[in-house]
Every structure is written in C-alpha cells, then in structure tokens.
Amino acid sequence: MEDIHYEPRTIHQRLETLYSKEDSKEAAKLLDALIKKYKQRITSSEYHLSEKDTILISYGDQVQHPGEAPLETLKLFLDKYLKEVINSVHILPFYPYSSDDGFSVINYSEVDPKMGSWKEIKEISDNYRLMVDGVINHISQYSHWFKAYLAGDEEYADFFIDMDPTSDLSQVVRPRETPLLSEFVDTNGKIHNIWTTFSRDQVDLNYANYKVLIAVLDAMFYYVEKGAILIRFDAIAFIWKEVGTPCVHLPQTHELIQLMREVIHKVAPEVIIITETNVPHDENISYFGSGKDEAQMVYNFALPPLLAHSILQEDTTAITFWAKTLTLPTDKVCFFNFSASHDGCGLRPVTGLLTDDDFDALVQNTISNGGLVSYRDTPAGKRPYELNCSFMNILSHPDDENSLKVKRMLLTQGVVLAMPGIPGIYFHSLVGSQNYHAGVKLSGINRTINREKFNYDYLVDLLNEDSSIERIIFSAYRRLISIRINEKAFNPFGKFKFLDINKKVFAVLKHSLDESESILALHNFSNDTISFLLPDVSKKELKDLLSNTNIKQNENVTMQPYQMMWLKF
C-alpha cells in the first residue's frame, strides 16, 4: 500500500482552521486542561487490530432476564456462548434516550437505568474490547443542554442552530423526509426554528461554537475512561453546517474529525475512531483522510446491498467490479465489514454501482419478502434509501425451505468474514432472525423490523433445539469465526486482491502481513453446481479450511450451490 506523505498539524493549527483567532486561543486552553484532566484518570495501553478481532453489534438490552439488568444478561450470554470467538462488542447507545432506540441521547454521561449501570459496562469492558457510540451530530430535545438553551442559560448559548425559516436551505442534503427545521418555544415564549437533520427529537449541535466541541470531547474522554477502545462517530458526515452548501462532507467536517482524533490520542493513542457515513462509496472512503489523520476504520456500506443483489441475481459481476476498486491510503487503516446492523440496508452507498432496474429489483424483492422500504426527498422526488428487513429475509422469502435460507445467509456472512478489514456481526445475523412485524406495529417505525429483543431463556431454548434455524446458523457462524481468528492471512492490514474466476463466484485472495501465508476465499452465489480451474495463484497444494479437504493446483474445483471454500496455500 502506498504510504502517503503526511505533515502533522498541531491542535492549535486545526482550531484556527475552524474558529476565529480569539476563539481558537480560548479553545486551545480548554482542550489543554481537558487533556491534563484525563491523563490523570486514564491509563493508556497498547492495542493493535488483528485477525483476532471480531466485533459483535448488540443493543444493551438485546437479551433480557426478569429481575436482572439487561447489560448483565448480555455479558452472561457473551461469556456462555461467544467468549471463545468474539473478543469485541459494540453496545449500541446505552445512555438515557427519548427516541430512535438510543440515538436521541438525553445524557451522554449516564447509563440508562433500564439497562443497568456503569458497573455492568465495566464488567463487559474488562473482558471484551468495548465499542461505543459517539452520537455527537445531535442530542435529545429533552437533554439538559437543550432545556438550558431554551431557558436562556448563557453557558449553552449558541449550542444549537437557530435559523430564520425564510433562509434558502434548498442545497442541504436530506437523509430523511422530516422537516429540516423544527419549531421550539423558549421559556419566554419566543419561537426558535432549530436545525434537526434527522427528527424533531434530535436537535443538531452547533460546532461553530467551540464550547460544543469541548463539551463533546469531555464526553468522549469519559467513555475512554469507562473502558471504550473503539468510538463510532454516528452520522458524522452532517456535523458541520454552512448555509448555501449541501451541509454534508464539508472540509470543516473532516477537519473536526481529525482534530477530535488528535485530541483523544494525546491521552489514549490506542483508541480506534470509526466513522459512520451511510453515503455513496466514494464519499464514504474520504473519511480515511490521508490514512494517518482521520478515521482508522470506515463502514463498508456498499457491501450489504451488493451481497443482496448478487444473491438475488446469482451473479457476482457488480460486487467483484466494486471490490476491485477497494484501495486504502496506508496500511494503518481498514474497512469495517458488515451485512446488517440496527439500521436498514442502505441503498445510497451503491449509487453508481447498481442500475435503477437493480434498485427496483431489490425494493420489490424486499416488499415481496415481507420487508419495508424507507424513502427520502431528493430534487428528483422521493427515492428509496433503505431496505427495512432482516438480512435473512432480504436474501430469502419466508416460505422458502430453511435449508435454502441457511445456505444463502451463511454464504453472505462468509464473505463478510473474508473481506479485507474487521468484521462486524449484528446480533440478529448471528442467530438468523427474521422479520419482526409485531414490533413495527407497536412502534410505527420501519427499522424496528430488525430490532427485536429476546428473552434470554427463550433464545437459549432456540439455540439448544437441534432442528431450529437459529441453532444451525449460530453453530455454523461460530465455526466460521473460530477458523478466521486463527488464520494470519485474515489480518485486516494484509495485502488483498479480488479475482475474476466465474461470474457466479466471488473470490478474494488474502495475505498475512509478512506474506508467508495466503488464503483464497471462494463463494458460489448461485443455486447451481459449478466447476472451474483455479487461477494460477500457487504452485502448492491447497487445503480447504472449511471442508478439511485438499485440492491440487491443476485440478478442477467443483462447488455446490451456495458453497464457500477458504483455500489455504
């Protein structure tokens, strides 16, 4: 990988890019005090990502047991069923919240008492590498910060963006159908039109006020003190606003992320910054920056819809074409690969990668399989931006044979594990959950379809039932992970290459850091038995780690429907 020349900039230089000379001086003083404060409270320890890292994505109350804090129950499940294969856990927002299943935070520094306390968070972080959410584009309308703002508290003046409703905001990119501005009335009866990118309950923070930056960094340091090793910057692309611009991916946004990383690393250089930007692929990867100064991991958002498209079309042309464009600016950054998350399957990331007909096919398939579709406003009218459906049901109809559902699901998960980078596994993918329609009826929110919470005993019974689809997928998934974490060729920073072998096969060649070990991962995306000659990548005999069989270089390889092979040289 090319090692881009990088000239580090001081914190003060970065502040002067964002703020006036006077404000940047004051901000520098406050940041220096913040750094000194947390250096006394945080013990830094070395940490490097490797093939051993697999991140489970889970709600804090994902599994529940009567009379027990859900975070305690989550740790029980992790310890009993996943400790040998999962070393990291992303606990989705566990703070007090008012909507959006945690992403409308009321208080950054507390744990929702319905989930538990910092005691349970510490117990998890003592045993697993902890990933937390920095929900820092917006905060709840019920937060102390916003209430104080409406009460006229000078400490919170300009913490939020109050706009003249006649302002021309036509260029602003909208991720939702909801209004950009929402009316609020302060304690004196004055009306404020507050910038709300995502919903009325999620009021955007105003980073043009340096005091907001200081307050947010204080919260991020607090998470590190409580055990966070990875911090996910939620919806970060929208964080800086400038009227007359699209207000997404602005230069100030990148500068702000780089500044926050620089400040956090002054205290804890081991912390990994992950950016969540559900946007077209070329825009998404811009958050790697130079490869040394911005996000260390970027969500590979194009992967889920391309996996679904490839399964439905039984054709890997599109995903292979895209994969061949994957490059990294340095060997210090990598992709965060996933197939599903607490959100739906975003379609914007494959803009330009799939045709309008491909989009329509995905939408119609999702609806036919019992899923839902969310839309957003664009200059061309309403466009689908997200498939709301369990990933299992995107790939297969509910009436399909379980054997077909399992094969398709496991194949896509195998790709997630084989891709260059770190795999993130949503809890529901791990156990093969299907659409949760009852939850949507209760909440009225499309995304609830993939956010079901489990009674611990009920889930355990499913995982112990020999013929259950949950047990079959869970057991097979654990085996795949157990193989992956013991192979150096799956190191996230090793060299990689994608190969054209057969339009039904997705093939990735992975190398260990020292290139002494290699794995050719093959995935048959069709319901056909296919045969082909292996590419000339090794003169040695290969061993399929999944079936424990050997294959000679000059022999034809036969793959069964939806079969995968991880061939080690």
Residue 114 has pLDDT above 70, yes or no: yes
**Tens digits of per-residue pLDDT, 370-384?**
999 999 877 777 889
Residue 245 has pLDDT above 70, yes or no: yes
**Tens digits of per-residue pLDDT, 342-397?**
999 999 999 999 999 999 999 999 999 999 999 987 777 788 999 999 999 999 99
Q: Does residue 27 lie in a domain region?
A: no
Residue 238 has pLDDT above 90, yes or no: yes
- Could you tell me if 263 and 387 lie in one domain? yes
- Could you tell me if 81 and 220 lie in one domain? yes
Task: Read off the CATH number of the domain in which 144 is found.
Answer: 3.90.400.10
Phi/psi at 209 (nearest 5 deg)? Answer: -95, 110
Q: What mean pLDDT comes out for the span 446-454?
A: 97
Pairing of strands 228-233, 129-134: parallel
Residue 541 has pLDDT above 90, yes or no: no
Last residue of a domain, one of 490, 523, 544: 490
Q: Which pLDDT belongs to residue 5? A: 41
Residue 2 has pLDDT above 60, yes or no: no
Identify whether the C-beta of residue 362 lies closer than 8 Å to the C-beta of residue 305.
yes
- Could you tell me if 357 and 313 lie in one domain? yes
Structure tokens belonging to residue 6: 């990088």
Q: Does residue 161 lie in a domain region?
A: yes
Task: Read off the CATH number of the domain in which 255 is found.
Answer: 3.20.20.80
Pairing of strands 454-455, 505-511: unpaired
Helices (H), 297-401: 303-313, 317-323, 356-368, 391-395
Indicate the number of domains in the chain: 3
Q: Does residue 28 lie in a domain region?
A: no
Q: Could you tell me which of 566, 569, 392, 427 has the C-alpha nearest to residue 485?
A: 566
Q: Which pLDDT belongs to residue 538? A: 63
On average, the pLDDT of the chain sits at: 95
- Could you tell me if 125 and 142 lie in one domain? no
- Could you tell me if 180 and 265 lie in one domain? no
Last residue of a domain, one of 490, 519, 535: 490
Report which secondary-structure segment, H or E, holds 203.
strand 202-204
Higher per-residue confidence, 60 vs 9: 60
**Tens digits of per-residue pLDDT, 3-59?**
444 456 789 999 999 999 999 999 999 999 999 999 999 998 888 999 999 999 999
Percent of the chain with pLDDT over 70: 98
Rounded to whole angstroms, the Cα distance separating 93 from 134 reads: 8
At residue 127 the predicted structure's pLDDT band, cuts being 50, 70 and 90, is: very high
Query: Which pairs from 24-30 meet CB under 8 Å and 24+ separation?
Result: 24/210, 26/210, 27/210, 27/213, 27/214, 30/210, 30/214
Q: What's 81's DSSP letter?
A: I
Q: What mean pLDDT comes out for the span 237-265?
A: 97
Q: Which pLDDT belongs to residue 381? A: 78
Last residue of a domain, one of 156, 184, 204: 204
The set of catalytic residues is: 234
Residue 163 lies in domain: 138-204
Longest Cα pair distance anywhere in the chain, in angstroms? 81
- Could you tell me if 352 and 261 lie in one domain? yes
Identify whether the C-beta of residue 259 lies closer than 8 Å to the C-beta of residue 219.
no
Task: Read off the CATH number of the domain in which 504 is found.
Answer: 2.60.40.1180
Identify whether the C-beta of residue 125 lies closer than 8 Å to the C-beta of residue 116.
no
Q: Does residue 47 lie in a domain region?
A: no
Residue 539 has pLDDT above 70, yes or no: no
The answer for residues whose C-beta is within 8 angstroms of residue 29's C-beta and 6 or more apart is: none
Query: Which pairs from 369-376 meet CB under 8 Å and 24+ separation?
Result: 369/393, 369/394, 369/396, 369/397, 369/398, 369/435, 370/398, 370/435, 370/437, 371/435, 371/449, 372/440, 372/446, 372/449, 373/446, 374/344, 374/446, 374/447, 375/177, 376/174, 376/175, 376/176, 376/177
Q: Where are the beta strands (DSSP E) in 253-403?
A: 272-275, 297-299, 334-337, 345-346, 372-378, 381-388
- Could you tell me if 221 and 121 lie in one domain? yes
Q: Does residue 359 lie in a domain region?
A: yes
Q: What mean pLDDT comes out for the span 197-225?
A: 98
Residue 255, amino acid = E
- Could you tell me if 181 and 222 lie in one domain? no
Residue 329, amino acid = P
Q: Which pLDDT belongs to residue 3? A: 43
Q: Which pLDDT belongs to residue 47? A: 87
- Could you tell me if 428 and 295 lie in one domain? yes
pTM: 0.96
Q: Which pLDDT belongs to residue 32? A: 96
**Tens digits of per-residue pLDDT, 290-336?**
999 999 999 999 999 999 999 999 999 999 999 999 999 999 999 99
Q: Which pLDDT belongs to residue 8? A: 61
- Could you tell me if 176 and 236 lie in one domain? no
Residue 1 has pLDDT above 70, yes or no: no
Residue 254 has pLDDT above 50, yes or no: yes
Higher per-residue confidence, 530 vs 175: 530
Q: Which pLDDT belongs to residue 9? A: 75
Q: Which pLDDT belongs to residue 298? A: 97
Q: Does residue 3 lie in a domain region?
A: no
- Could you tell me if 443 and 509 lie in one domain? no
- Could you tell me if 274 and 180 lie in one domain? no
Q: Could you tell me which of 286, 262, 234 has the C-alpha nearest to residue 15?
A: 262
